Structure 1
Amino acid sequence: MEEIKKTKTRDEIDEKYKWRIEKVYKDIEAWETDFNRLKEFQPKISVLSGKLSDGKKLLEFYKLDEEASRILEKLFIYAHQRSDEDTTNTTFQTLKSRIDAYLSEFKSAAAFFVPEILSLPEEDIKKEVENVPELKLYEFALKDILKAKPYTLSKREEELLASVSDCLEAPGNIFNMLSNADISFPKIIDEDGKEAELTEVKYSNFIKSKNREVRKNAFNALFNTYSNYKNTFAQTLSASIKNFVFQSKVRHYKNSMEYSLKPNDIPLSVYDNVIETVNNNLKASLHRYVDVKKKLLKLDEIHMYDLYVPVVDTPKDHIEFERAVQIAKEGLKPLGKEYLDIFDSGIKDGWIDVFENKGKRGGAYSFGCYDSMPYVLLNYNYEINDVSTLVHEMGHSIHSYYSRKTQPFIYASYTLFCAEVASTTNECLLINHLINTEEDENKKLYFINQQLEQIRTTVFRQVMFAEFEKITHESIENGKPLSAEDFCKIWHDLNVKYFGPDMIVDKEIDMEWSRIPHFYSDFYVYQYATGYAAANSFSSMILKGGEPAVKKYKEFLKSGGSDYPIDILKKGGVDMATPKPLEDTIDTFNKLLDMLDKD
């Protein structure tokens, strides 16, 4: 009888595969020393409240805040990463709880800063910046705060809004409880002919099943269950949109979309361009993809439950971590020697916690702070997808490495609009390398299909979500309430438009809107599409343009948050204010489709 492979304990993992967290603090005593030191800053910062009209006091605030924040970040990453190494370790769970609690306390001590800056006349602040030369460093940060002045309410009104923030967030909380805790799904018959529990997590496996009955039954069971709660979900989503629209009106924005995009200086035209560009290319791209998939799966009819089944089986190669590093470096070679040297030093210097161990947090992430090296958590499982995860997370980490080396602390962090660009650029370079160098025809087709699916789900699907948000928000802004039937009709019509005449748009899919948590973070999802488009543009420029293109790309990596995201990307050579990056991504999709559809 084959021995069951047991998950190793933390102590059984070779040290060379663990991150060197001791470079942050050598032990808990050192952590405690800094924690006590941090507490000394609170009264020093609080005493500056009401004095920021004096440039010297404003500079003092910035310096104190930076010194305290840098200590706080180190304390935070040490506690969280030690906790993630083994979530059953109560010592580190306690450290994590302590720093999480103190983070809220620290934020409240400095909470006076932004309202006070907004209460000061802009000309007075400009004068103080001229009088105190060291404040020049903070000019962009101050300008960014002052930009919100026309949308800031009186102190009393701001306090009133803050006091009802829990109520305004209630729809999202209700959605989470209803979809995660209260809904239960019926059992279905799995591929082995056995009764199996259906859950949201297991659904993602069932919908990829090679057995069509399994995926059809899972699809019907999931969405028919959601349909039983359709009126509750409709009221919850309506309330969430109404809350967002209410806040945008109270703050005097033109509409809710402006309320979401303007703080990051993203023109509304970017959002509209994304939807328009995808709509203009649906027939030649996504409709054709449906047709090719139908043909490759040898189906008389293609239904919504056939979308996720792979047309090519996954390669079953066992890839040791050292080989994964080599594959990653081969894929990232176009980024040049300097980038690869940083990648190498990350492997050797202990950036990465590689393997699963008992109690270790699942998934993968990139972390770290201004005064630490970047850190990457993996749960490496010897598969080709794990190589992709490695380059993705190292993309984040090397982005952070460049930002922190180049930018002062205040501008070292980058925005969400830019966050996924560097990681996805790495993925694009890797998949391009795998497709171009693979000699086994089946594996090559697998990689082609993988990239097609990534573009379909990250670009086309997320833009459909974005269009749904635009329609629903505009409807409520114009005084037209939305019922469950309205949401279902909007969703059905979008699916018909996006997937084209070959797709049978099953009525069950009409309820899909009800299970998307991102709809409770208004106008968020379009950034998946823009992020992928920017990454595709960067990878194409790097592959075609060589060293000059790499140099421009590094300018993007080094920019951190020193400017607004659209301008940072533009300096790197990608203009997201135009449709071109998205058009180029769709062009990549079409070329991959040509490679898959050889008949």
Structure 2
Amino acid sequence: MSIVKRDEVKLEETWNLEDLFKTEDEFENAIEEAKKDADSIEAEFKGKIQTSESAAGVIAAYEKLYEKLIPISTYANLALNVDQTNSDAQMRSAKVGQVYGAIGAKLSFIQSELLMLDESVLLQISSAQPGYQRYIKNLLKQKAHQLHPEAEKALAAFSTTFNAPYGLYNTTKLVDMKFPDFEVNGRNYPLSYNLFEGDWELENDRDIRRTAFDAFSSKLREYQHTTAKTYDTHLKIEKTESDLRGYSSIFDFLLEPQEVDRSLYNRQIDLIMSELAPHMRRYAKLLQKVHGLEEMTFADLKISLDPDFEPTITIEESRKYMKDGLAVMGEDYSKMLDRSFDERWIDFAQNEGKSTGAFCSSPYGYHPYVLISWTSRMNEVFVLAHELGHAGHFYLANAEQNVYNARPSLYFIEAPSTMNEMLMANHLLKNSEDARFKRWVISTIISRTYYHNFVTHLLEAAYQRKVYEIIDAGDSVNAQRLNELKRGVLEEFWGDTVILNEGAELTWMRQPHYYMGLYPYTYSAGLTISTQVANRILNEGETAVADWIDVLKMGGTKTPVELAKHAGVDITTEQPLRDTIAYIGSLIDQLEQLTAQLQQ
């Protein structure tokens, strides 16, 4: 196992960015064309948006420009994400940020002038052109929070600066932070962010796993103060804008674009913290018993219940799992899966400087792109299914909706991705009666699907809420305070079942989601919806699948409550969440029973 440079990886394991721009010249020309279009929009419409005709005209003109800007930012971001150490990619991304800031400032007049119109004029456009209904609805929401046009222009001009903390976080994490090898029983092992999170954290050998955790945490600790200051800066930017725009709290500011109120946000965190914790403590104790550990530590929570059984698979073998496991979604969806492999939509390579974790980028007008660092572990099937769930969602939504309507609320965004994990699990369980295989599948559902989305991200959300409460009160955070908050949340959830290793409190340093607003809690929200819909599909078959496909095609034309309702789930009540927590408990019951059966 070694960490290679980007130029050393196999071409077939990388994604094909030439589908966005074939050459650098083509990319540069696209930037110049976008700048000229922005100039034209300014010349034609600035100071002249006074009627429904001119208002509709500027909305349509910006729609076309928006479509041209998307591949530009996608190309720059994806090139940087596969190698944060690449100087050319760094400079390209910085340039795009500057261009976006300049165009945003130049065209900030659009929203200002539209909101100066009588509301009836905007509603007239909304009625006449349904494709613009969502844009106008969101625009009108901003009316109470709109600043003076010159203030809006200044804020837009500073957009690149305001986004700098996220870039600084990634630079610290993926460029400056170099991990030395660690030694166990006289043997050296390489260490990096991706190697730790993709391999060592799941390593069956206790000494290797815990030593890797200590070495990883030691390096994180060296950068905790810089990372904390970066995060505090990001929080202050959000708080300042929230106050400037007159929101009563930073929570209201961040939740408004999600189209849900604070009760849904708090419910997700409070119920899981109190009612899921007992189930997950049982799971931790089961891991401890099966592995014969004297004590269960935080460094042991990601290990497999049956590591000797887990197979390794190739990238090509993963394709068959995707096709078979997601076949229920229909022929068109299956063709999309084939295209994702055949046309290199997926970046599988592991290399130095590559972003951690996995994600899907779905640029409007183009095909989706999936980033993953392939380890050949069988659980990667669930990770890949998850990201292809995002890909399938936007593949359908982008084809059906205009650019204003394609993306749904962040609250719903993780439902299609976690749905694919549930479908994959159901497929694997349906096709085997072997007790050991069933235990492996169920334990993977717990350790990958539910642990990742209902525990890891939910604990991030509980911690994040405490952070925002501090910021909302006008206070600040530093490394010591963030460490205390994170450790407190972990202690509350795990109780005395899990010993928190020195370094567990630094887990807040590992997650980029904190720079994306109130994102972490949405994983459990999405999985709550997908768990219930997956059960519908199991019981009702094609009818439930058809409803789900319809929901995916709706994109952002409906609120999360409306989308969930169309799929057969009522998230205005707490019942779906309680049912999902009970379902997780039943899975752990099965694990305990299957383990007892196998040990006889």
**TM-score bin (small chain):** 0.7 to 0.9
Which range is displaced more, 588-597 or 226-235?
226-235
Aligned to 2:119: 122
Q: Does 1:289 align with 2:283?
A: yes
User: For the structure 1 residues 457 and 22, does the alpha-carbon distance in structure 2 shift closer, same or farther, using more than 3 Å as the test?
Assistant: closer
CA distance in 2 between partners of 1:92 and 1:440 (Å): 49
* 1:503-543 Cα shifts (integer Å, max 9, x gaps): 22345423433454433444221122212222222222211
Contiguous gaps of at least 5 residues in structure 1: 1-5
The one-letter amino acid paired with 1:115 is S
CA distance in 2 between partners of 1:26 and 1:230 (Å): 40
CA distance in 1 between partners of 2:227 and 2:314 (Å): 46
Which of 406, 412, 428 in structure 2 is aligned with 1:434?
Answer: 428
Aligned to 1:41: 37
Aligned to 1:595: 590
Which of 252, 255, 272 in structure 2 is aligned with 1:258?
Answer: 252
State the Cα distance separating 1:469 from its structure 2 match.
1.7
User: For the structure 1 residues 379 and 188, does the alpha-carbon distance in structure 2 shift closer, same or farther, using more than 3 Å as the test?
Assistant: closer
Which range is displaced more, 535-544 or 562-571?
562-571
How many residue pairs get aligned? The number is 585
Alignment of 1:466-481 (within 5 A): 466-478=461-473
- SS for the counterpart of 2:203 is coil
- SS for the counterpart of 2:414 is helix
Q: Does 1:51 align with 2:45?
A: no
Which range is displaced more, 50-59 or 117-126?
117-126
Q: Does 1:527 align with 2:522?
A: yes
Contact 1:208 1:215 in 2 (8 A): yes
- SS for the counterpart of 1:411 is coil
Which of 60, 63, 68 in structure 2 is aligned with 1:63?
Answer: 60
Q: What TM-score, normalized by structure 2, do the two folds share?
A: 0.80
Contact 1:399 1:558 in 2 (8 A): yes
User: For the structure 1 residues 557 and 56, does the alpha-carbon distance in structure 2 shift closer, same or farther, using more than 3 Å as the test?
Assistant: same
Contact 1:53 1:125 in 2 (8 A): no
CA distance in 2 between partners of 1:301 and 1:229 (Å): 29
- SS for the counterpart of 1:418 is coil
Aligned to 1:543: 538
Query: Quick check: which has more Rg, 1 or 2?
Result: 1
Contact 2:104 2:157 in 1 (8 A): no
CA distance in 2 between partners of 1:85 and 1:233 (Å): 21
- SS for the counterpart of 2:408 is coil
CA distance in 2 between partners of 1:177 and 1:92 (Å): 12
Q: Does 1:307 align with 2:304?
A: no
Contact 1:234 1:482 in 2 (8 A): yes
Contact 1:209 1:215 in 2 (8 A): yes
CA distance in 2 between partners of 1:268 and 1:515 (Å): 26
- SS for the counterpart of 2:413 is helix
The one-letter amino acid paired with 1:398 is G
- SS for the counterpart of 2:238 is helix
Contact 2:109 2:149 in 1 (8 A): no
Which range is displaced more, 527-536 or 516-525?
516-525
User: For the structure 1 residues 147 and 359, does the alpha-carbon distance in structure 2 shift closer, same or farther, using more than 3 Å as the test?
Assistant: same
- SS for the counterpart of 1:189 is strand
Report percent identity of matched pairs. Answer: 25
Contact 1:351 1:376 in 2 (8 A): no
State the Cα distance separating 1:557 from its structure 2 match.
0.6
Contact 1:248 1:256 in 2 (8 A): yes
Contiguous gaps of at least 5 residues in structure 2: 1-6
Contact 2:358 2:372 in 1 (8 A): yes
The one-letter amino acid paired with 1:120 is L
The one-letter amino acid paired with 1:111 is S
Which of 557, 560, 578 in structure 2 is aligned with 1:562?
Answer: 557
Which of 184, 193, 198 in structure 1 is aligned with 2:186?
Answer: 193
CA distance in 1 between partners of 2:224 and 2:346 (Å): 43
Contact 1:188 1:198 in 2 (8 A): yes
Q: Does 1:585 align with 2:580?
A: yes
State the Cα distance separating 1:28 from its structure 2 match.
9.5
User: For the structure 1 residues 331 and 169, does the alpha-carbon distance in structure 2 shift closer, same or farther, using more than 3 Å as the test?
Assistant: closer
Which of 504, 518, 529 in structure 2 is aligned with 1:509?
Answer: 504
State the Cα distance separating 1:267 from its structure 2 match.
0.7
CA distance in 2 between partners of 1:35 and 1:167 (Å): 20
Q: Does 1:453 align with 2:447?
A: yes
Aligned to 1:403: 397
